[in-house]
Structure 1
Amino acid sequence: MGNSRHNRRAVLQGVAAWGAAGLLGPAMAQTGKTAWPSKPIRLVVPFNAGGATDIIARSVGEVLARRTGQPVVVDNKGGAAGILGSDAVAKAPADGYTLLLSLSTSMLINQFLYAKLPYNPQKDFALVSQIAAAPVTLVVHPSVPASNMKELLAYVKANKSKLSYGSWGVGSYAHLAGSYMSKSMDADMTHSSYKGEAPMIQDLIGGQLQLCFSSALNTRPFIESGRLKAIGVTGLQRMKILPDVPTIHEQGVTDEAYSVFGWVAMGAPAGTPQEIVDALYAHLREIAKDPKVQERIAGAGFIAMMNSPQEFRQNYQRDLPVWKALVETAGARLE
């Protein structure tokens, strides 16, 4: 009897220790005979270090490591618009130890942009969670006589072939949305493509461009100083860092081209056991409550989501035809 009580006490102490470490419940998902995770997790970011996606990946990875008791190594595998890193994850073992944290560009939009893609975004990833929505601002040079979306559209329409808009590359949202605006207004605007947002913003401030879509992280300082004028933000929800700037949708312009938004999301190789995906999402749901993670997501101009795998799949299928139509309208095609 004494040994029985001792063994029972030891088991209870062990269970309590696992619970305290945050490993009980979802993290007890099994792959064969081993609880996940039992070794370090590699979180691939298919972009260079230092950007907003990388910052969010490191914030999420830090808390995930704390919760699982295993190191989470952020691996920046930049190049080819997110294709190289995304392809590496698509071809990795589906065991929960190689994960992707990327943008809608590589996980959804690239399939319509590129004639040849080494992976299939719809077949090669298990969708885990949309970490954050990534809406952007629509800004104009102060000389543009418009203060809201309807005034801007009227101005664009009345000045056919006279205006220019910028983007941070062919196939970027800034290009697709600008092209949609030009064609829907029969405005024949000139598209200027830049290697990044910074030079685009500088040309907008200098008057070489009249308008562009760009991240709040880049436009906010110039909006606040009056060097740029904010017309609105994309998506359906205002940004915390620009609370006074209305969405384009709430201004009565409800075109899907302006309501759709990019996102930062986590995926895994297709075939990853559902119990691991569920365990991972259970951790992400709790990570969403962490004040530091919330602060970094909002500070990047993003809106926290942390939705479930099912909600992610539903949103993905809803947005798929919208992005496809935008790419086709812009005539964007890359090799």
Structure 2
Amino acid sequence: MTFFRTSLFNRRTLLVAGLALSTASAWAQAYPSKPIKLIVPYAAGGATDITARTLGEKLATRLGQPVLVDNRGGAGGVTGTDQAFKSPADGYTFLVSLGTTMLINQYLYEKLPYNPQKDQALITQIALAPVVLLVHPQLPVNTAPELLQYIERNKGKLAYGSWGMGSYAHLAGAWLSDNLKADMNHAAYKGEAPMLQDLVGGQIQLTFASLQSARPYIESGRLKVLAVTGTQRMPALPKVPTMTEQGIKDEVFRVTGWVGMSAPAKTPADVLTRVATEVRAIIAQPDVRERIQQMGFIPVGSTPEEFAVQFKKDAPVWERLVKLSGAKLD
């Protein structure tokens, strides 16, 4: 009798498990059955938005469903990111954002409404987002090492700009000032446009900026570019060496921002795998890679596992930089 009950229990267990697997498989095969939303936590027209729309157009064709880009700007990207992570984990809402909201903000904000470690499922690192080191053209320097020497000779006399507290430009500038004991002033702006205008006008002497924003000033000669961050040159600026190539190997200049894609935590694994595979295939297409490169990004297209490894590697670097800068946001 015991054997019979055990056998009956096993058969029932296997039947239920088999039914569950069959249902999950059928659901995965039917996915997607309605439009998909990509939330971009910034205003339309920026590099992240353009990247999301490029991917969305291709993804719609591959998945057979419309892919809508929903711009949810506000609070430096926090508002849209929070909305994305708190959306239903059904595979129909995804986030396309910068590492700032997906990783760095947890060290900047006293009260962040979401937890990047728990509330998102990483899908793919779309592209690296290095920035350029810029100076006013009248500064008598032409390389990054020359700039560092100039800063040391002019302690307390220089100012660096950033597009906001806690931005890469702020963190890197604070690191330079602290490491060189240069006592540089930090000028925080509401965006890159006013920051670059003041650099052109000579109100500040140096900054880091995205290539997309800085390109017109570089091409017109109104600003001088000395280097790029990261470990590889930008395809859009092949003649400009990295900081590392110029002998400045500190981790603050080796790490870069990035554009990534994630989903609300607990999104079905089958969906994550499917979307990751499709997006990586899209990023591998020559026309997509070229468009990403034109914005100053470096295409990646990692697997979820590779993205998780990079995420974990970058986290302590950003945490140290934020602590050194003293930046804290409400």
Q: TM-score, normalised by structure 1?
A: 0.89
Q: Distance in 2 between matches of 1:161 and 1:30?
A: 65
8 Å CA contact 2:124–2:280 kept in 1: the answer is no
Residue-pair matches, total: 308
Aligned partner letter, 1:75: D
CA contact (8 A) 1:174 1:212 kept: yes
Question: Are 1:239 and 2:244 an aligned pair?
Answer: no
Once residues 268 and 28 of structure 2 are traced to their aligned partners in structure 1, the CA distance between those partners, rounded to angstroms, is: 13
User: By how many angstroms is 1:174 displaced?
Assistant: 0.5
Could you tell me which of 96, 119, 127 is aligned with 2:122?
A: 127
Query: Secondary structure of 1:295's match?
Result: helix
User: What is the deviation of 1:95?
Assistant: 1.4
Partner of 1:68: 63
The CA deviation string for residues 268-296 of structure 1, in whole angstroms up to 9 with x for no partner, is 01111221111111101210133332222
1:1-335 matches, cutoff 5 A: 30=25, 32=27, 35-335=30-330
SS in 2 for 1:53: helix
Find the aligned partners of 2:205 and 2:26 in 1 and give their Cα distance.
55
- For 2:20, the equivalent position in structure 1 comes to none
Letter of the structure 2 residue corresponding to residue 61 of structure 1 = G
Partners of 2:119 and 2:181 in 1: CA distance: 39
Q: Would you say the 8 A contact 1:31–1:273 is kept in 2?
A: no
When the two chains are superposed, the root-mean-square deviation of aligned CA atoms in Å is: 1.4
- In the alignment, the residues of structure 2 paired with residue 86 and residue 220 of structure 1 have an alpha-carbon distance, to the nearest angstrom, of 28
The answer (yes or no) to whether the contact 2:42–2:73 under 8 Å persists in 1 is yes
The whole-number CA distance in structure 2 between the counterparts of 1:237 and 1:73 is: 33
Bigger drift between 134-143 and 220-229 goes to 220-229
- The two structures have a TM-score, normalised by structure 2, of 0.91
**Identity across matched positions, percent:** 58
Question: Residue 129 of structure 1: CA displacement?
Answer: 0.3
- Give secondary structure in 2 for the equivalent of 1:232: strand
2:10 corresponding residue in structure 1: none
1:66-120 Cα distance to aligned partner (Å, 9 max, x none): 0000110111111111111111111111111110000001000100000001100
Give the gaps of 5 or more residues in structure 1. Answer: 1-28
Aligned-partner residue type, residue 67 of structure 2? V
| Structure 2 letter corresponding to 1:237 | Q
Runs of 4+ in 1 over 4 A off after TM superposition: 31-34
Mean Cα displacement is larger for which, 55-64 or 149-158?
A: 149-158
Shift of 1:32: 4.3
